[in-house]
Structure 1
Amino acid sequence: MTEAPVLPPLHMRRNAFDPTSDLREIREADGVRQVLSALGNPVYLITRHEDVKAVLGDHERFSNSRPPGFTLPGAPAMSEEELASARAGNLLGLDPPEHQRLRRMLTAEFTIRRMKRLEPRIVEIVDAQLDAMAAAGPPSDLVADFALPIPSLVICELLGVPYEDRDDFQHRSTLQLDLSLPIAERLALQRQSREYMRGLVARARQDPGEDILGMLIRDHGTELSDDELVGIAGLLLLAGHETTSNMLGLGVLALLRHPDQLAAVRDNPDAVAPAVEELLRWLSIVQNAIPRFTTTEVEVAGVRIPAGELVFASLPAGNRDPNFIDSPDTLDIGRGAPGHLAFGHGVHHCLGAPLARMEMRIASQPCCSASLRWPWRNHSRPCSTGLFTSSTGSNHWR
């Protein structure tokens, strides 16, 4: 049964940096509870750290594959051919062995060794953005002038996407993720994004470059369909800039709101890497819980869940679980937060995690020491997007 959705849904509500207290109440009481998704359909929400790990680590009982007859409430009818085309190459929506077949083709491009070779170029990009902000003078918007351009430039260069197209794909990405828009409108935007990527794939087929798309075509072109290349590239483009830009904007804002933590990072460059890990845990940028379908009747935290049900694994709730980490609501950059769930868990652990970590480490350090380059103070104002408030807001440096 589908009910009228209440936006934002419970699992995505926040109080400034903190997840809604409802998540804590569920975690402390049942651990699992039926709630409504953003579309109004009932889902089982998983909130405890160990249970979230168990769900995400068990692809046999908790699958990405929709059970027969399942449809998204409000979504227009799609043919089997169109559904297969939209699903192809989308690593987030595939189970092993198909997921592993595609992921293995990409793994070499996201190793720590490969990322280290990219480091000098990322340093150049970060320095160029900071210099441009300083040259332009106050005020500067931390999101528009820094947090968004850096990961966008990096992923465009990695994928072979023309940077001059960034305004279009960033606009589409923002709307695709806006849950206040009707599902039909968001699906139409996804189709537009796939058509854009289809053009890039066609050009890369004819003349593969020295980028990830070119590598996939040279090394695996006969194994991959155009639909799969479109799905892979589209996912990397969206995930490669949206989450990292939000982390950069909110991470700097969080440090500004915690001057003792900011001072600890500013005075000790070695503190930046553990600070990034703690910020990843504390902020949990991916607010929309990770969906899975039960393939059989399961029991989670003593709650029986029938087969064919939709389960949401909440990363923010898991990362704030006191059974996982002491004083979970406290931002403490000294602890490094090993074992957090910000990048997921199991076979779907974020492929681009090494890149995201490196971007955040390189970009955060000069931000924290920005007062050494020019005097500034922080202002933050909410930026409304539909029924929601943008998580990044607008931070003006003066």
Structure 2
Amino acid sequence: MAPAPPRSGSETFAVRADGVDRAFGGVQALRDASFAARPGEIHALAGENGAGKSTLIKVLCGLIKADKGTVEIFGTEVSRVVKPAARRRMGVATAFQELSLLPDLTVAENLLLQDPPRGRLGLVRRRHLAPVALDLLRRYGVDDIDPRATAADLSVAQRQVVELVRVLAAEPRVVILDEPTAALPDRQVEWLAGHMRRLRDEGCCVIFTSHRWREIEALADRVTVFRNGTRVATRERLTEAEAVTLMSGRSFAGAYPELTGEPTGESALRVAGLSGGRLRGLDLDLRRGEILGVGGLAGQGQRDLFLTLFGARRAAAGTITVDGRPVTIRSPKDAIRAGVGIAYVPEDRKAEGLFLPLSIRDNIAAATLSRRATAGFVNRGAERVAVASIVD
């Protein structure tokens, strides 16, 4: 375990955590974790999935309480006050990995939810919401989002931008960003990077997580690495190879083994003249043993292609061939049936990929329920065996 960051007699940290533990049932997410970030710096939190970064962020912003340890904001201990609103009043603003926009409200309503324009009697001036929100978006360089649009109708990247504008508009002293660029294309990543540097130059403390090392390398003044819920190092300079070793306990060479296998030349999936949505006569050929990348600016038809191949959107024209055999895909049921076997991981995992009120077992088994059901009744015993096999 790395020692706690030293406390200088003349230095006040913007954020400081010391000896923090946090468990969820039998899972120890944080173990004697320490962290400190200064005003006027961009500080990156790095680590593998499950290293404790997001849990630490939730402790720092007051969303959850630590089981043990202390948290300070500008020298004031806040460990016992577990209220995000109290941290916001202290100047802490957070954009979480899971987007928190209310889908049925407009962009303007989401942006101004905590501080809407009001009249003399304290009533919300609804006619002023869109103009005020438009000014806010333009102030932060966003000109491609309609403040009257419903949040549910925006792309994941646009929703992320709205979430970030809401954080920036709070004019905070501490900004915490949990994987803010995961859903953003390069242009918007540069937009966010510019605001992060501006905030730092204005004396704000910016803390962020990212799995893209080039972003950490380009933006961070310091990097803190977590592994298994514990801080293992804080450095001003860190190479990618050193970071991989610290994060995983394995060497860089071991993390990127030599590629084995070559495409066989046999066609696994062939598309000819596919049209529908933004697709216009698309052709492609995916061979066995091959990874095919689909690139392009946001909104150029990539999503239409994937939804059409999975049967979630009907094709207007064109043919799809799997293993040399023409197939008709009118629904996801057609795509996942035996002999076709097309699976789809959506852009918005939370809204489109999971049934959040259901158990993990139910989610894993959902796509293949018919294999373990008779007359509409699911064989729970067979389901438990199948899911246990998948988990193993």
Report which of the two structures shows the higher radius of gyration computed on alpha carbons.
2
Give the structure-2-normalised TM-score: 0.23
| More strand per residue | 2
Whose RCO is larger (CA < 8 A, sep 6+)? 1
